[in-house]
Amino acid sequence: MDGSPILLNDLVWDLLLGTGKVVAINADGSFDVEFGTRQATYQAGGMLAGVKRLYWANPIQFVPPKQETKKWQIIKNVIELLKREL
C-alpha cells in the first residue's frame, strides 16, 4: 500500500472506521482488517468498493477557504516539497 508492503498485524487507518489491524493477507492480494468487532476486506492500495479508504495513519485534511485559492496552491506546493524530502 502506497509503496510499502502490507504485513500481518500492521496498524492502518480507515477514513470511516479509524484504526484497525491487518489480520489476513489473501492469495489475490487483498487483505482483511479488523476494527474491534468489525472486519473489512481491502484491495491493493487500500481500496474498498473502488474508493481509497485505507492509509498508514490518519491523513491530514485541509479545507481550502473560498477566495483563497492562490494561498491554498502555495500550501499544497510546500507540502509536496516536504513529502519528497522526508
Express each pLDDT in 44-64 by its tens digit: 899 999 999 999 999 877 777
Please say whether the beta carbons of 31 and 41 come within 8 A: yes
19: which residues sit within 8 A by CB, 6+ positions away?
11, 12, 13, 35
Q: Is the confidence at residue 8, as pLDDT, over 90?
A: yes
Residue 10 confidence (pLDDT): 98
Residue type, 66: K
The model's pTM: 0.74
